[in-house]
Chain A
């Protein structure tokens, strides 16, 4: 237990540092807030007539209620990519080496970065829901539903952050990590993040069905538009946890490999 305490403190310190440096650099946080919100606004205005008119569309108060969770997931993806790029910049710039050379716990290097990602993810989820609420959306699942959405968002943020860190450790280049973003964006679109999967057809629907992002978004969405069950909730949380376990595990291994080579 005494061995863990400094690691916890270091995690907090590194997380705080990541958060501060992110806030100070507009390019780091602006895209993660701007693009999801703009798309959410455009989609809501474009597809406002969909609920009720499009067969297969789930019953909702309004399209905005439907769209919030897609925006949250999009925001987390953008934020996670920026986090990975920032981590890579730390490696390029030497801050990483300085950390390694100091008595900082190895675990803290990773958990600090992840903690910052989770904090940003939490902020995005709360902000987007608040903005949607201002424009008339409501959370059907009440406080519990709201908390479930936050929980899934935060765990997913850790997962994406982990992926970003993994890429950073493997490529060592901020540009390379940013270059991955189009792939994530594609992944986001080939899911039910923005429109119900019941309205899709053909191979596109098949792809979206097996896309874990669909499971995440749908689970979160049901809390907001209504219809969530213990089962759907567990699917969402479970998917997020599984993704997080994979990416964080991979980045832990990558970290160890890099440290071994360096030492």
Chain B
């Protein structure tokens, strides 16, 4: 937990804002990132002694990009509605700094086994935050948890309203800020000046 990519390194914020309005999209996104990250880490680690230093970033990018395209194709074939919801953001895993960051910082120096688990761990850490943000946004924005309505019609009739801000990106900023704050004060991580 001390090395969470979002709350400690503040990486991958873009997608964390975009696809966390509901928990189910966040879960699918998490699975996609975990798959891409662990496979790309493994592949790059396997190639790490062969990759010429000059073009290493390009090679890393091509491996990641190919995996993302494949993930996108699979989603389109088996979870069409979900792929419509995720839209362009699934493709944007390519530009997610976490993936390239782990490839460059970890997979290039470590054995495939270690790199695989590093990818898995970072992916899940990323996913934990995504799902946490989505959890709060879905409750306050739609009054439901994982699609199941928890705010009853009775409560809407007596004047309760969903918070529209939570559905928009700024809502994610607030929640993400709070999560980073809580997590950092709990783990006592402070940026060095």
Partners in one complex: no
Residues of chain B at the chain A interface (Cβ within 8 Å): none
Interface residues of A (CB under 8 A from B): none
